[in-house]
Amino acid sequence: MKALMYHYVRKFNSNFPFSKHKKIEDFVNEIKNLISLGYKFKNVTEAIKSLETEEDTQKIILLTFDDGLKDHFNVAKILNNLGIKKATYYIPTKPYLDNKILHVHKAHLILSKEGEKSLDLLFEACNNLGISLSDHSNYKVEKEKFKNAYSRWDTNSKIKEFKSLINYYGSIGVRDLLLDEIISQIGIKLKANDLYLSFNEIKEISEMGFEIGSHGVSHTLLARLDKNTQKEELYNSKKLLEELTSRNINSFCYPYGGKKSYNKYTLELFKEVDYHNAISVENKDINKETIKNNFFEIPRYDCNQIKDLFLKK
Ligand SMILES: [Zn+2]
C-alpha cells in the first residue's frame, strides 16, 4: 500500500500567483481515477493494523492531509460525497492556543505572493528590525545538517534558502518577528481563522469517520528541539485533540518529514506518550518488508507523484 501527502487543495487566487496547491478539480479527478482502478482507502492507524492480518494490501491507499488547513473541510466533504470515509487529517494545535498563523504558513503566504523575491524581503526585514537569523549557537551545525532539506522539491535556490532559513536553521526566536514584518509590508490580511479548520470543523471531520492525528503543537522541526520540548509537542497536541474529538489520537505526523526531521529522542517518546504510529515523507511503499515492524517511520509519497505512481500505465 501507499500513503499520499496533501497540503493545500484549493482554487487559484490571483492575489497569490506563486501558490503551490493541488487544484480542486485535479484532486477530484485523481481520486475518481483511483476509485475506478479499484483502489481502497484506509486511515493510517487502520491500515497499519491491517498489515498484520491482510495478505494483499497492494490496492490500499492512505490519504493524508497535513496542517489543519481550512481547505481540508472541503476535502472531507468531497471525499464523503465520493463514498470515501477513510483518510487521516494531521492537525498542529498552536493556532488554537494563540489564534496566530504558524511560521511555516506565514512563509507559504509570503512565497505564494512574492515568489523568489521573498528572500530579499527577508533580508530587508532583518535590516529594518536589526535582527539576525544566524545569531544562534547551533547555526553552523544546523546549516550543515539540513543543507539538503529542500533539494528534491524546489528548484529555485532563493526559495530554498528562504524556506531553509525559516524552517531549518534560522533562529527560532526571531522568525515570527521577521515574517510578521514582511506580511504587514506586503499587505497580507489573512488571520488564523481564515487559514485553519475551526474546532467545529475538526469535530465534524472526525464525526464523518475520518481519523484525526497530531502534527505537533508549533510545527517546529522536532530534531531542533530538546527532549522535553519534543515531549510537550507530542503530548500537548495529543491531549488537546483528544479532548476536542473525544477519541484516542493514535497517529503522529512529523512536521516537514524525512529522516532528519526527528531523532532518537522522538522515537523514544512515542511509547511514553502513547502513539501507535508516525508517518514521515519517503519514496517507498508500505509493506511488511519496507517498514520491518517499525510503525514510527512510515513512508509517504507526495500527492504530486500520483500520476507516476498510479495513473500512467
Ligand atoms: Zn506540516
What SS3 class is residue 23? strand
| Per-domain residue ranges of the chain | 2-99+197-311, 103-189
- From ligand 1's centre to the CA of 282, what distance in Å? 15
Residue among 249, 269, 285, 295 at smallest CA distance from 52? 295
Nearest-angstrom CA–CA distance, 313 and 78: 26
* Cα-to-centroid distance, 262 and ligand 1 (Å): 13
Distance from the alpha carbon of residue 54 to the mean position of ligand 1, in angstroms: 30
- Provide, rounded to the nearest whole percent, the portion of the chain with pLDDT above 70: 98
For residues 26-37, give the mean pLDDT: 96
- Rounded distance from Cα 84 to ligand 1 centre (Å): 23
For residue 302, how far is its CA from the centre of ligand 1 (angstroms)?
12
CA 100 to centroid of ligand 1, rounded, Å: 16
pLDDT exceeding 90 applies to what percent of the chain? 87
CB 186 within 8 A of CB 113: yes
DSSP 297: S
Report the C-alpha gap between 90 and 184 in whole angstroms: 29
Taking the C-alpha atoms of residue 7 and residue 27, their distance in angstroms, rounded to an integer, is 11
| Residue 122 confidence (pLDDT) | 97
Q: How far is the CA of 16 from the centre of ligand 1 (A)?
A: 20
85 φ/ψ angles, rounded to the nearest 5 degrees: -115, 5
For residue 147, the model assigns a pLDDT of 87
Residues with a beta carbon under 5 angstroms from ion ligand 1: 66-67
- The answer for 11, left when phi > 0, alpha when psi is -120 to 50, beta otherwise, is beta
Burial class of residue 3 in the structure, from the number of CB atoms within 10 Å of its CB (0-12 exposed, 13-18 middle, 19+ buried): buried
pLDDT digits (tens, 9 = 90+) for 286-307: 988 888 889 999 999 999 999 8
**Cα–Cα nearest to 278, from 72, 69, 66, 85:** 66
CA of 206 to the centre of ligand 1 (A): 19
Report the alpha-carbon distance of residue 281 to residue 251 in Å, rounded: 14
Give distance in angstroms: CA of 53 to centre of ligand 1. Answer: 31
Q: Please give the distance, rounded to the nearest whole angstrom, from the Cα atom of residue 309 to the centre of ligand 1.
A: 22
For the whole model, what pTM was predicted? 0.96
Ligand 1 centroid–CA 299 distance in Å is: 15
Burial of 55-80, coded b for 16+ CB within 10 Å and e otherwise, reads: eebeebbbbbbbbbbbbbbbbbeebe
Q: How far is the CA of 61 from the centre of ligand 1 (A)?
A: 20
Query: How far away, in angstroms, is 55 Cα from ligand 1 center?
Result: 32
Give the distance (Å) from ligand 1 centre to CA of residue 290: 24
Q: Is the pLDDT of residue 54 over 90?
A: no
Nearest by Cα to 105 from 224, 19, 15, 213: 19
Tens-place pLDDT, residues 191-249: 999 999 999 999 999 999 999 999 999 999 999 999 999 999 999 999 999 999 999 99
pLDDT per residue as tens digits for the range 114-166: 999 999 999 999 999 999 999 888 999 999 998 888 876 667 999 999 999 99
pLDDT of residue 289: 82
Query: In this structure, are strands 22-23 and 251-253 parallel, antiparallel, or unpaired?
Result: unpaired
Task: Say what the pLDDT of residue 57 is.
Answer: 87
Query: How many A from CA of 310 to the centre of ligand 1?
Result: 24
Contact of 18 with 79, CB cutoff 8 Å = no
> Quick one: angle between helices 103-114 and 118-129, nearest 10?
120
Ligand 1: centre distance to CA 129 (Å): 28
The pLDDT of residue 313 is 59
CA of 92 to the centre of ligand 1 (A): 8
Q: So what's the pLDDT on residue 48?
A: 92
With beta carbons less than 8 A apart as the criterion, state whether 40 and 54 touch: no
CA of 197 to the centre of ligand 1 (A): 14
- CATH topology for 2-99+197-311 is TIM Barrel (3.20.20)
Q: What is the mean pLDDT of the chain?
A: 94
Distance 303 CA to ligand 1 centre (A): 14
User: How far is residue 2's CA from residue 192's CA, in Å, rounded to a whole number?
Assistant: 32
Long-range contacts of 236-239 (CB under 8 A, 24+ apart): 236/93, 237/91, 237/92, 237/93, 238/214, 238/273, 238/274, 238/275
300 Cα distance to chain centroid? 11
* Predicted confidence (pLDDT) per residue in 252-283, tens digit: 999 999 999 999 999 999 999 999 999 999 99
**249 near 242, Cβ under 8 Å?**
yes
Predicted local confidence at residue 153, as pLDDT: 65
The alpha carbon of 182 and the centre of ligand 1 are apart by a number of angstroms equal to 21
Residue pointed to by grid coordinates 500500500: 1
